[in-house]
Amino acid sequence: MIDHVSIAVRNLAASASLYERILAPLGLIRLVAGETSVGFGKRYPEFWLNHRSGLSPVSADTGSHVCLRAFDEAAVRSFFDTAVRLGCIGAGDPGMRAGAMTVYFGAFICDLDGNKIEVATFPRAG
């Protein structure tokens, strides 16, 4: 139902470099790079960074976040560990969580601009 998601960033080059590294464990690569935006995806750009030079960092308590799907728990951990190592703020360590309809394994970070990004995988029942 959702075609793509865009987030605003102050420094497009720095954010594109960051996301290139933290999205790799999810199988997402940089597919499109323009003067004011960069798109990541597997075959189609589903996750976009849009340059907003006057942007102030957003507060982590805005209530908005984006959740991206991971293949497995190792990909969630790799995303989180890489993001924190590169200067993002951990906003929920990797672990099991109770969702509205099922349990899942996920982690949250706030990027360099305060955007809250979650990565989740849904373990198959035994």
SS3 107: strand
Residue 8 and residue 50 in contact, taking contact as beta carbons nearer than 8 Å: yes
pLDDT at 63 (0 to 100): 64
Q: Which residues of 79-110 are buried (b: 16+ CB within 10 A; e: fewer)?
A: bbebbbebebeebeebeeeeeeeeebbbbbbb
Cα-Cα-Cα-Cα torsion 49, 91, 22, 100, nearest 10 degrees, comes to -80
Q: Average pLDDT for residues 31-51, to the nearest whole number? A: 97
Number of domains forming the structure of the chain = 1
Round to whole Å and give the CA distance between 100 and 48.
27
Domain annotation covers residue 126 = no
Q: Which domain holds residue 111?
A: 5-52+65-121
Looking at the chain, the whole-number percentage of residues with pLDDT higher than 70 is 97
- Torsion-angle region of 87 (φ positive above 0: left; ψ -120 to 50: alpha; else: beta): left
Domain annotation covers residue 58 = no
CATH classification of the domain holding 84: 3.10.180.10
